[in-house]
Amino acid sequence: MKNIRNFCIIAHIDHGKSTLADRLLDFTKSVTERERKEQLLDNMDLERERGITIKSHAIQMVYTYKGEDYVFNLIDTPGHVDFSYEVSRSIAACEGALLIVDAAQSIQAQTISNLYLALENDLEIIPVLNKVDLQSANPDEVTDDIVDLIGCKREDVIRASAKEGIGIEEILNAIVERVPAPKGDPDAPLRALVFDSVYNPFRGIETYFRVFDGSIKKGQNIKFVATDKNYSADEVGTLKLVQFPKKEIKAGDVGYLITGIKNAKDVKVGDTITDAENPTKNAVAGFEDVKPMVFAGIYPVETDEYEELRTAMEKLQLNDASLVFVPESSAALGFGFRCGFLGMLHLEIIQERLEREFDMTVITTVPNVSYNAFTLKDKDKPIIVSNPSDLPEPTYLDRVEEPFIKASIITKSDFVGSVMSLCIEKRGQITNQTYLTQDRVELSFDMPLAEIVFDFYDRLKTVSKGYASFDYSPIGMRKSKLVKVDVLLNGNTVDALSALLHVDNAYDIGKRICEKLKELIPRQQFDIPIQAAIGAKIIARETVKALRKDVTAKCYGGDISRKRKLLEKQKKGKKRMRQVGNVEIPQEAFMAVLKLND
């Protein structure tokens, strides 16, 4: 066990995490020339194109240091805030972390939040200053920032460039010297932490785990503590670029397990694996069920593709257990699903994967968060509202609570005013303001989650000219004055466009939705009234004017009454059309609410 080192890499998006992982694999000769490619651990095309890690990966390397072989287990972590629970489980499986900071961009919000996670788990932090070869790099200044942040010595910070291969050997040596070897009792009952799972269409779910105590052998009867189910370990092994089956994985090591489980819900990230006959008394702490934060309706464009969409969603769920969906129907869109996501990036990824992997074109309704509603009859028992149409009538409603988050924003001091006014506009309350350096400020806000679901991130980047970085964590539910705003087209409510909004913003947003829809809805042969309403009260109205045929074209001269007669005849026809007219709504209209500020 003394020659094993388990470590992860924590960094903000685009600070060079995947590239550094590639260089470590090259240097330890874990990959051959033939297998080598950029972002080797990112399997999806989507990850490569966007330059983000969506699914965490693990890989084993062997490094020779002073004549001794050391086994390195690199547990990669996703970079985005939506996947913070997965990051926390990956960190819990390690003893050390490489903290990567871009020498040009300095410390960002996610660097700090992931660093705090690592420090809570008592990880040994190795600071690495990446991209020192860039012309825009400020290595000395950023080194001072790192020293201030984690309280290390200047000489502890390793200067590197993952692209050019500078400093890679120093990093590997530091892992051997500074990261402690795993501790654990090889003779105790088996206790292992599940930090990831992947679906293999031929073999079922592959579970990735880290053994803390005891060992796991091929053919052993094992038990998952959270789900309380027993399985037989058909195959165990270590994770290199391909899987290496082994007879036994001992304490301190990382490996994979195949048990023939077919359903992703049966393997929960953060669960503890133990022996079925001789279970451990203390499971690994920190397990929780991942709760979706953002909800949206996903509907097929053609209603007869409903079953195909269900199959596609079920297949996606095998790979991604945090996706939750239930069938729902809408008067405007027919049959579809109400889906729960970890955040907006997760929603975008699912939508993109449906289109790429399953060739499904879908309509997504306006995302919203989950609220707790309390009725006058039952003031203590909340009704969970994840769809605006589930909200009880205002006459029965006692109060509504909405989820709040603690947002931490790091920006240059020049943009503090504009960032603050954006957050206050989004109903944020400032709780703290800290100057990290002379020109970098960390602002903390308490904000409703619903306000950041829309266009918050894009607007934050705009007001700060791309310099602000953003991170958040949930802080529970708070009472709020919310109303349901319905959109009526031609007098009919379009349930897919309904939204739950704060009273103060309802009139303004209702008016802007009507204006936006007026631009998007094509003109018909009749007038289309677009109205926003709270209950029975109309709060805004726009009208899409009718297209008119020039019925007077055939009148050459003569009395004016001839023209008037034709126009009156046309007017009567238009009236008759309005009573039965149906409106076609283009796909963009359903997402119009997200782009109200464009």
Ligand-binding site membership of 133 (annotated): yes
Q: Residues for the chain: how many in total?
A: 598
As a whole number of Å, the end-to-end CA separation of the chain is 58
Euclidean distance between CA atoms 330 and 299, whole angstroms? 9
401: Cα separation from own chain's centroid: 23
Four-residue CA torsion sign, 157, 163, 167, 169: positive
Q: Could you tell me which of 401, 410, 407 has the C-alpha nearest to residue 426? A: 407
Check if the beta carbon of residue 460 is closer than 8 Å to that of residue 433.
no
Surface-to-core class of residue 254, CB atoms within 10 Å of its CB (0-12 exposed, 13-18 middle, 19+ buried): buried
In this structure, the strands spanning 383-385 and 492-493 are unpaired
- CA pair distance 508, 515, nearest whole angstrom: 11
Q: Is 346 annotated as a binding residue?
A: no
Residue 268 annotated as part of some ligand binding site:
no
| 117: its two tokens | 């996670």
Tokens of 202: 């031929």
User: Does 19 carry a binding-site annotation?
Assistant: yes
How far, rounded to the nearest angstrom, does the alpha carbon of residue 111 sit from its chain's CA centroid? Answer: 17
90 Rama sector, left if φ>0, alpha if ψ -120 to 50, beta otherwise:
alpha
Contact 459, 597 (CB under 8 A): yes
Give the count of beta carbons closer than 10 Å to the beta carbon of residue 130: 29
361 labelled binding-site residue: no
Residue 308: is it exposed, middle or buried by C-beta count within 10 angstroms (0-12/13-18/19+)?
A: middle
Alpha-carbon gap, residue 581 to 586, rounded angstroms: 16
Check: CB of residue 333 under 8 Å from CB of residue 325: no
Specify whether the backbone of 334 is left (phi greater than 0), alpha (psi in -120 to 50) or beta: left
CB-based contacts of 120, cutoff 8 Å, min separation 6: none
Tell me whether residue 15 is annotated as binding: yes
Residue 80 marked ligand-binding: no
**Tokens standing for residue 371:** 């609220």
User: How far apart are alpha carbons 250 and 184 in whole angstroms?
Assistant: 10
122 is an annotated ligand-binding site residue: no
* Residue 431 host element (H or E): strand 429-437
130 labeled part of a ligand binding site: yes
Task: Say which residue the tokens 């992931």 belong to.
Answer: 114
Q: Does the annotation flag 16 for ligand binding? A: yes
User: Rounded to an integer, what distance in angstroms lies between the CA atom of residue 419 and that of residue 461?
Assistant: 9
What is the DSSP code (8-state) at residue 554? G
Three-state SS sequence of 175-202: HHHHCCCCCCCCCCCCEEEEEEEEEECC
Amino acid letter, 223: K
Which residue ranges are tagged as binding site? 14-19, 130-133
Which residue ranges are tagged as binding site for GTP? 14-19, 130-133
